Every structure is written in structure tokens, then in C-alpha cells.
Amino acid sequence: MYNADAKRYEKMPYRRCGKSGLKLPAVSLGLWQNFGNNGVYSNMEKMIHTAFDLGITHFDLANNYGNPYNGSAEENFGRILRDMRNYRDEMIISTKAGYEMWSGPYGDRNGSRKYLTASLDQSLKRMGLEYVDIYYHHIYDPNTPLEETALALDNAVKQGKALYVGISNYGREQTSEILKIFKELRTPFIVNQPSYSMLNRWIEDDKLDKYCLENGIGLAVFSPLYQGFLTNKYLCGVPKDSRVGRGETWIDDQLDDKMIGKLNKLNEIAKRRGQTLSQMALAWVLNNKAVATVLIGASRPEQIAENVGCIENLVFESEEIEEIEKVLRD
Ligand SMILES: NC(=O)c1ccc[n+]([C@@H]2O[C@H](COP(=O)([O-])OP(=O)(O)OC[C@H]3O[C@@H](n4cnc5c(N)ncnc54)[C@H](OP(=O)(O)O)[C@@H]3O)[C@@H](O)[C@H]2O)c1
């Protein structure tokens, strides 16, 4: 039987998600990779327990997470939760629908009421839950009226199957359109989930971060370590046992000598701050006021412990920010 660490709430900061009443841990854990049936169950369980013991209360899932089949991450998480039932009210569990999930026109990549409604029922069943805390539309669908998607999410709340709703991979324009509809419906829409890191700053270019900050929507940022680039893993090349080494990412062609040089320079700045590169990269993302939480991924418990260590130094001197900008620009 799992017993959580009694000191789990002593260090982690909890940040308000937009202007909502919900607080999220500065660091959250995502289960996109390494939680499917191709992983080792005891390692997954250890990662969830390690995270919770360190104050990570938020676990981010989606219907299609897991290999070799979609949904296996939710199944494994559900199995781990069976032993953590007593802590359900201390957890924020999110799931999503939007990408290809099951065969035929209703489980395809879309944002229809049919898909979002059926998918949430499936997710709840796989995880053994009565409700999720946050239900997301995973990716903007230009072929479904936004009103239909918004109503489907709102309906999930009315049915008691989700407490809050969110959107992911929506740009600023799309966010502002759906926000108007949610306002009319009085839907508890509180969060937007974009990718963002030192190496991926599209939300700044799009002004999505500014827009969300001004409109009370929190950002839960994914791939804050740029899928592992911003760690000490690739400083001397590509280890076999890594996401790039295993061929599990589409950004591997960006890991050239120039990039490795850049990562080493960033690592020098991190060292001066008394941090590892991953800790500095997470602190840098959390330094953006629009960001409520960073959604990290991990392949082993030790990475979670290292990454949570970012909270020891979240403050940047303006000279450090400038120095980082220079490295990123070069
Ligand atoms: N909404 C969306 O469309 C969307 C898309 C992608 C992700 N997400 C969410 O965001 C979460 C995180 O995404 P991500 O996995 O790409 O995030 P990430 O934190 O940028 O990358 C995580 C990977 O980096 C490596 N890593 C992490 N910490 C490390 C450390 N301290 N030292 C060395 N290596 C380390 C691990 O890979 P290896 O050890 O295997 O190399 C780990 O799996 C997902 O689980 C999911 O919840 C959402």
C-alpha cells in the first residue's frame, strides 16, 4: 500500500491557473511517453509516487497517450491510481481528445460533440474515475464549428464528468474566438496548453501568452525541456537510451553540433546559478507570468526529482536573462 510522504507540501509552489480558483503545482507530470504498455510498469508506478511525494499534484494525460495502442497510458495510470484512491482529492487529473483515436469518422482527428463526448466516457473508464479535473480539446479543428466544440466541453462539465475545461494547440486568434463562446455559456474555461521552451517561443511571437495573461487564462506548458534537449543528456552527443537515441521524436535532426554547442553554453550559465540545465530551463519558462505550470515528461524517477529541484531558484537577474538571450540568438 502506497503512503505519501508527509512532507510533500513543504516545498512545491502552487500557482493560480489564470484567474480561476484552481492552483497548480509549478511542476506537473505528463504521461505522453513512457507510460504505455511498452514501458515497465514498476518504473511508471515509481515515477507517479515520486512525483506525488515531491508535491506534484497534477497529472496530464490524453486519450491517445501510450504505446503500442492509444489509451494504454490511461489504463496504466488507472491501475496505479487504485492504490492511491485516498489521495484523489489531492490530485488534478487532466485528459484530452482531438487527435486520431479510434477507427472511422468519429474517432478521427476532430472536435465534434460526438467524438469529445464518447472519448471522455472511454477515458473515465480506462482510468477508473468518475470525473476528470480538466478536460481539453487537444488540437484546433478548422472543420468543426467552434461553438460545437465549446458546447461539447461545456456539456462535460454539466454532466459532472469534468470540473474545468481547456484547449491545447490553439493560437491566439482561435483562443479569443472560443473564449467568447465560453463566456456566453459561463463555462469554467481556465487553461490553454501550448508548447513552449527556451528553444520554442512561438507563443511569444503569436502573443498568445500576453493574451492569456490579460484574459485570465492560465498556461500549462508542454515540452518545456524541448523533449529532453534542455537537460544534461545531450551535452556530449546522443546516448542510445534517450528519446532521440531511440528515434522517438521528430525533432532529432535539430540536434546538430551547433545545437549541442548552444546547450553547453546554457549549461555553463545554469552551473553559475547553482542549477542543472533542466532546472534552469524550467525556471526560465516559469519566469513567464502567463505560465501556471510546466508539464514535464520523464523516463525515470530520478529525472522528476532533478527537475522539481528547479523550484530552489526561480529568480533571474536581468544580466542572466540577457546572457541566455544571446546564446539562444547566436
Ligand atoms: N497538448 C499536446 O499536444 C502535448 C504534446 C506533447 C506533450 N504534451 C504534454 O507535455 C508532457 C511533457 O512533454 P515532453 O515529454 O515532451 O516534455 P519534456 O519535459 O520537454 O521532455 C521530457 C523528456 O526529456 C527527458 N528528460 C526529462 N528530464 C530529464 C533530466 N532531468 N535529465 C535528462 N533527461 C531528462 C526524458 O526523455 P528520455 O530520458 O527518454 O530521453 C523525458 O521523457 C507530456 O507528457 C504531455 O502531458 C502535450
Q: Is 154 helix (H, G, I), strand (E, B) or coil?
A: helix
Any ligand 1 atom below 6 A from CB of 224: yes
> Residues 135, 118: contact at Cβ < 8 Å?
no
pTM of the model: 0.98
Any ligand 1 atom below 6 A from CB of 110: no
pLDDT of residue 286: 98
Q: Which residues pair with 164 in a beta bridge?
A: 134
pLDDT of residue 1: 86
Pairing of strands 23-25, 14-16: antiparallel
Residue 194 grid cell: 501550448
Q: Which residues pair with 162 in a beta bridge?
A: 132
Query: Which residue has the least CA distance to atom 10 on ligand 1?
Result: 222
Nearest ligand 1 atom to alpha carbon 136: 1
Residue 239 grid cell: 546516448
- Site to substitute for ligand 1 among 77, 299, 304, 307, most atoms within 8 A of C-beta: 299
| CA separation for the pair 29, 15 (Å, rounded) | 15
The domain made up of 14-329 is a member of CATH 3.20.20.100:
yes
Residue spans of the domains in the chain: they are: 14-329
pLDDT of residue 94: 99
| CA separation for the pair 72, 39 (Å, rounded) | 10
Per-residue pLDDT of the chain (330 residues; tens, 9 = 90+): 899 999 999 999 999 999 999 999 999 999 999 999 989 999 999 999 999 999 999 999 999 999 999 999 999 999 999 999 999 999 999 999 999 999 999 999 999 999 999 999 999 999 999 999 999 999 999 999 999 999 999 999 999 999 999 999 999 999 999 999 999 999 999 999 999 999 999 999 999 999 999 999 999 999 999 999 999 999 998 999 999 999 989 998 999 999 999 999 999 999 999 999 999 999 999 999 999 999 999 999 999 999 999 999 999 999 999 999 999 999
Residues listed for the chain:
330
For residue 29, the CA-to-ligand 1 centroid distance in Å is: 9
Nearest to 286 by CA among 310, 319, 322: 310
Query: Which residue has the least CA distance to atom 43 on ligand 1?
Result: 298
Query: Which residue has the least CA distance to atom 19 on ligand 1?
Result: 296
